[in-house]
Amino acid sequence: MVLANTDPERKRIVIQRVSQLPTLPTTLVKILQAAENPSTSSGDIALVISKDQSISSMVLKLVNSAFYGHFRNISSISHAIVILGMQTVKSLALGATIFRTQPGAGVAAFDRNAFWIHSIGVATMARRLMTKGAEAPGVDKETVFVSGLLHDLGKVVFDNYFNEEYREAARQAEEKKITIREAERLLLGLDHCEAGRFLAQKWQFPAPVLEAIELHHDMERAAAAGARVAALAHIADFGCQKINLGKSGNGKPSALDPRALEILNIPESLIAETFSEIEGEKEMIEGFGID
Ligand SMILES: [Fe+2]
Ligand SMILES: [Fe+2]
């Protein structure tokens, strides 16, 4: 039995553990070390990523997928870096690695495959909203895609490294009909937005990705910060839930905050059109399983 814990000390311990993450896969550590070294070239990063078959194939599968929007055949990681940029490929590789990591001894708190589809769905939808006219000046479409893909990173971190507490949080969210964020705060002292932001910051993700992770449920702060990518992730998160694409493990369904439309200065019709477009592509996105 895990007891509810709102003790600030608990929060401090969780944050400390999140920023240490002792059981990172070796490839992830190597990618991070290579990326942190100022003399590292994109070729060096490509070499590190290429050595791990499963990460390379995940990155290549993503960049070559029709819904990602590149219709050229990208066959090597170094080519992917040229097309997408080092930051994006690094973020994709890190995201793919952490999403594939399963809880050590425990059982996942939520359906990982359905969650991966949710993440791909949010990424695709956020990117599509941009293509259709939602503007985020200075941010490219690849970064928006990665932001959508990783917006719920904190949930995977909780599930992998605080599995027992997180299973209890998921159970309580379901039972008490509260949001998963409320349950997370109750059991772990902080929610997946805050935990994800700590990790993303440590990994030096680009600023729009950090914003999407931290603010996708908080349009008040997103509006104050002018965080357009967070608004895109918020709308896409709601959209995927509405068209029933994947599962976010959220407990009580979340509502669409109209402030997201104001931040992006877009009409409701653009959202409705995007939702139905993606709904038409559901099968293709659902086919993009994690295995
Ligand atoms: Fe979330
Ligand atoms: Fe989500």
Task: Give phi and psi for 179, each to the nearest 5.
Answer: -75, 160
Q: From first to last of its 291 residues, what are the pLDDT tens digits of the chain?
A: 444 555 677 778 777 777 665 455 677 777 777 766 778 888 888 888 888 887 788 778 877 876 666 667 888 888 888 877 777 777 777 777 777 777 766 788 888 888 989 998 999 999 999 999 998 998 988 889 889 999 999 999 899 888 899 999 999 998 998 999 999 999 999 999 999 998 888 877 888 999 999 999 999 999 999 999 999 999 999 999 999 999 988 777 788 999 999 999 999 999 999 999 999 999 888 877 665
The encoded tokens of residue 149 equal: 């893909």
CA 152 – ligand 2 centroid, Å: 5
Give the pLDDT confidence score for residue 126 in this predicted structure. 96
Domains, the chain, ranges and CATH?
10-19+106-286 (1.10.3210.10), 26-100 (no CATH)
The encoded tokens of residue 63 equal: 């960049």
CA 151 – ligand 2 centroid, Å: 6
CA 216 – ligand 1 centroid, Å: 6
Give the pLDDT confidence score for residue 220 in this predicted structure. 97
Listed in sequence order, the DSSP H helices in 110-191 are 112-131, 141-150, 153-161, 163-176, 180-188
Q: How many CB atoms lie within 10 A of CB 262?
A: 12
Q: Please return the burial class of 282, using the count of CB atoms within 10 Å of its CB with bins 0-12, 13-18 and 19+.
A: middle
Give the pLDDT confidence score for residue 67 in this predicted structure. 61
Neighbours of ion ligand 2 (CB under 5 A): 152, 237, 248
CA 254 – ligand 2 centroid, Å: 9
Give the pLDDT confidence score for residue 55 in this predicted structure. 78
Give the pLDDT confidence score for residue 42 in this predicted structure. 81
Ligand number nearest to the C-alpha of 119: 2
Q: What is the pTM of this model?
A: 0.85
CA 151 – ligand 1 centroid, Å: 6
CA 193 – ligand 1 centroid, Å: 7
CA 92 – ligand 1 centroid, Å: 18
CA 197 – ligand 2 centroid, Å: 14
First to last CA, the chain: 33
Ligand number nearest to the C-alpha of 117: 2
Burial 1-23 (b: 16+ CB within 10 A, else e): eeeebeeeeebeebbeebeebee
Contact 220, 37 (CB under 8 A): no
